[in-house]
Structure 1
C-alpha cells in the first residue's frame, strides 16, 4: 500500500468518533503514519471519555468545523444534493458503498475511499474545504488540526 494510502486510512480512523477499537489501534496508527504522531501521542495520553467529549465539542457542536465536505460549499441542505451524489457515484464506480449512518461526503469516508482506490479526485475537489477546516481546527486549538495538516500536505495540487 503506498505511503499516502496508509496516511489517508490512518487519518480516517483518527477523524472518527473515538471508541475502544480506536484506542486499541493507536500503537499501530502511530507506527504506520508518523505524520500523525502528534495526534496519536495526544490520543494515547488522553482518557477515552475525555477524548470522546473533545471530539463532540470539536466536530459535532457546530457546522464551523464540519467533517461533511459539502457543507463548506453548500450550507443549505437543499443544495447539497449534487455534491452528495457526486461522492456516492464515485464510491459506486469502485464497487464501494457508504454506510447508511454517515453521508458519502463525510471526510473519514472520503479518506478511506481514497486509501482503498488511490483516487484522489474527491480530495482535490474539496481542497478548499480541507484548508478551511484545517484553519478552523488550528484556531480552535485542537490536536485534530495536526491530522488535517498531514492530510492537506498529502493531497495533490
Structure 2
C-alpha cells in the first residue's frame, strides 16, 4: 500500500476514474492535466502505475485505445468493471448488492445521473475523489476479491488497464489471507449465471 494523504488519495482516484472510463476526446485533451496530477503524487506504486498508463495513452491513437477498451471491458466477461458481478453474476443477489452501493452514494450526498450502475469501478473511484473517502473505501474493500480478479484478468490479457487497477489496489491495505482465499474461490467458481432484470437499479437520478 502506498501511503498517501487524503488529498493525494482523492487525486489518485480521480485520475484512476478518468483513465478507467471510455477513452473519449476529453480524456485525450486532458492528458497534460492528468500527468501533472500524477507527478504531484509521492513516489511509489500508485504514481508508477498511473504514469505507465499515461505513457501508453500518449503513445496510442485514440481509436486504437477505444477499440481495446470495448474489446476488453464490453466483450470479455472476466474483465468486468462492475464490482458486484464477480460475486453475484446476473442474479437477484446482485440486485441487493447494488442497493448497498446506492445507499452508500446517498449517505455521502451523491446520486448518479447518467444511468451508470453504482458498482462501476470508475464511479466508485470518483465517489472517493469527491470526498466520500470512507464510503468508497468500504465499497472497494468489501469487493476486493472481485477487484483482484479484474487485475488478474487484465494482466492475463496484457492490457495496459491492469496498471490503473493495480494503482487503485495499491491505495488499499494489503490483502488479508481471507481476501486472498475469497479471490481464489471466485476464480474457481466463476460468477453465478441466473439471468434477471436489473433495470430497477440501472438509473439513479439526482446530481453529482
TM-score by length of 2: 0.72
**Match runs of 1:130-145 below 5 Å:** 130-145=147-162
Larger radius of gyration: 2
**Match runs of 1:4-153 below 5 Å:** 4-34=9-39, 35=47, 36-116=50-130, 117-119=132-134, 120-153=137-170
Runs of 4+ in structure 1 off by over 6 angstroms are: none
CA RMSD in angstroms, aligned pairs only: 1.3
Deviation at 1:94, TM superposition (A): 1.4
Deviation at 1:115, TM superposition (A): 1.6
TM-score by length of 1: 0.95
8 Å contact kept, 1:30–1:41: no
Gaps of 5+ in 2: 1-5, 40-46, 175-208
Secondary structure class of the residue paired with 1:64: coil
8 Å contact kept, 1:66–1:133: yes
